[in-house]
Amino acid sequence: MAPDVPVKTPRCSLCDEPAVFHDRMTGRHLCRGHFIAGIEERVAETIRSRNLIVPGDHVVIALSGGKDSTALLMILARLLPSWESVRLSAITIDEGIHGYREDTIRSADDLVAKYGLSHSTVSFTELFGGTLDAFLNGREPEACSVCGILRRKALNVAAERTGATKLATGHNLDDEAQSVFMNVLRGDLPRLVRDSGSDSQGRFIPRIKPLMFVSEKEIAVYLMLHGAWPDLPECPYAVHALRGEVRGMLATLESKHPGTMLHLMESKAKIEVQCAGRLEEEAIRPCAECGDPCSGAICQLCQLKKTLKK
Rounded to whole angstroms, the Cα distance separating 16 from 109 reads: 39
Contact between 19 and 11 under an 8 Å Cβ cutoff? The reply is yes
Contact between 146 and 304 under an 8 Å Cβ cutoff? The reply is yes
Q: What is the mean pLDDT of residues 231-260?
A: 85
Q: Is pLDDT at 262 greater than 70 in this prediction?
A: yes
Phi-psi region of 242 (alpha: psi -120 to 50; beta: other; left: phi over 0): alpha
The answer to the question of residue 208 being in a domain is: yes
The answer to the question of residue 169 being in a domain is: yes
**35-60, pLDDT tens digit by residue?**
999 999 999 999 999 999 999 999 99
Task: Label residue 81 by pLDDT band (50, 70, 90).
Answer: confident
The answer to the question of residue 286 being in a domain is: no
Domain holding 84: CATH number?
3.40.50.620
Rounded to whole angstroms, the Cα distance separating 23 from 21 reads: 6
pLDDT of residue 76: 97
The answer to the question of residue 22 being in a domain is: no
Q: What is the mean pLDDT of residues 21-34?
A: 95
pLDDT of residue 69: 95
The answer to the question of residue 18 being in a domain is: no
Q: Is pLDDT at 200 greater than 70 in this prediction?
A: no
Q: What is the mean pLDDT of residues 9-34?
A: 94
- 103: Cβ–Cβ under 8 A, 6 or more apart, which residues? 65, 232, 233
Rounded to whole angstroms, the Cα distance separating 292 from 145 reads: 19
Task: Label residue 28 by pLDDT band (50, 70, 90).
Answer: very high
The answer to the question of residue 292 being in a domain is: no
Q: Cβ of 195: how many Cβ atoms within 10 Å?
A: 9
Rounded to two decimals, the pTM is: 0.89
Q: Is pLDDT at 6 greater than 70 in this prediction?
A: no
Rounded to whole angstroms, the Cα distance separating 133 from 97 reads: 6
120 vs 295: which has the higher pLDDT: 120
Q: What is the number of structural domains in the chain?
A: 1
Q: Is pLDDT at 277 greater than 80 in this prediction?
A: no
Residue type, 75: I
The answer to the question of residue 11 being in a domain is: no
Say what percent of the chain tops pLDDT 70.
Answer: 91
Rounded to whole angstroms, the Cα distance separating 260 from 250 reads: 8
DSSP, residue by residue, 94-115 = E---TTTHHHHHHHHHHHHHHH
Task: Note down the domain range covering 169.
Answer: 33-268
Q: Is pLDDT at 103 greater than 90 in this prediction?
A: no
**187-198, pLDDT tens digit by residue?**
877 777 776 555
pLDDT of residue 309: 63
pLDDT of residue 199: 45
The answer to the question of residue 213 being in a domain is: yes
Q: Is pLDDT at 301 greater than 70 in this prediction?
A: yes
Q: Which residues of 273-309 are buried (b: 16+ CB within 10 A; e: fewer)?
A: eeeeeeeeeeeeeebeeeebebeeebbbbbebbeeee
Rounded to whole angstroms, the Cα distance separating 99 from 105 reads: 11
